[in-house]
Amino acid sequence: MIKRILILIMIMSLFVIPVQADTIRWVDFSVPYASLKYAMDVDITTAQQEKHISWIDILAVAGCRTGGKCPLSQVKRAAKDLQTDASKEELLGGLYQYYDYYDTAYHAVLGGFLGHYAIEVDGQWKPAYGLKAFSPIAAGYGYSHCDDFGNSRSFGFKRKHLGNDLMGGLGTPIVAVEGGVVEAMGWNRYGGWRIGIRSFDSKRYYYYAHLQKDKPFAAGLSEGDQVQAGDLIGFMGCTGYSDKENTNNIETVHLHFGIQLVFDESQKECNNEIWISAYDIVRLLSSHRSSLQKTDSGWARKYPFQDLDLNDL
């Protein structure tokens, strides 16, 4: 009798132990700019309405239906469907089995971009909801870029380009796209003077490389420091491709901007890191640029910024 009871307990335990999904090992983020912009606008427009429609929900539903391609027509359809009373499972039917993947992946990519923030204008803090991530290029400075993710590189060894190159003028101020912790800072033979910043939720690692010679970083910035979205972190240059520190060996002045996703810490430094194309994200962020001003004591933000969602992390 005791043996039967023990067997019964073991069988019942199989039904109460939660099943943990496998860690995501790859994300091919290919959502076009127009789809990102439309989904973001719906999210912001509905933020104060009775039914707030999250842009990540919109993109996840569209991703399930299109294998992650998310053309604008499908994003519009998803936004419209989510305004109804139907559940996501009802909307997707058999495709719902893929929802957790796209929801998790898109949260990892975009989770810190929209939310509540405040800026100080004329001594008063003004709260708002919207895009709180910034372009990596400060306001008032020109740049150009193209979709170069995956292009070949040969210095050191043959490899793919895992970022987006933004061409601009020497000394152009570079800012933190999102708030986080400075995780890496210094010289790298490939990236030259570079900074790596981990988002506060630890899902995104932002890589800013080829900063300028001699004075690459914002004054006083050190590894371990926390930065706010839009804070000055360094200046555009052409350092790198050299084992000798502080060397200009890149032909064109530019910022290499990369985004790595981290679902598990074992993915941070390995042969299977998850880097995504940042081109359309940079296009989206181009409408939100941090205004800096140079003072007698150095650089300062024209409009101080607070992320009002940080207490929720």
| Residue pLDDT, tens place only, 269-308 | 888 899 999 999 999 999 999 999 998 888 999 999 999 9
| Residue pLDDT, tens place only, 114-172 | 999 999 999 999 999 999 999 999 999 999 999 988 887 766 566 688 899 999 999 99
- Tell me, what's the pLDDT at 128? 96
Average pLDDT over residues 203-220: 98
Query: Mean pLDDT, the chain, as a whole number?
Result: 91
Average pLDDT over residues 11-19: 33
What is the rounded CA–CA span in Å between residue 249 and residue 240?
6
What is the rounded CA–CA span in Å between residue 71 and residue 39?
11
Residue 309 has pLDDT above 70, yes or no: yes
- Tell me, what's the pLDDT at 12? 37
pTM, rounded to two decimals: 0.90
Confidence of residue 6 (pLDDT cuts 50, 70, 90): very low
Residue ranges of domains in the chain, CATH in brackets: 23-116 (no CATH), 133-301 (2.70.70.10)
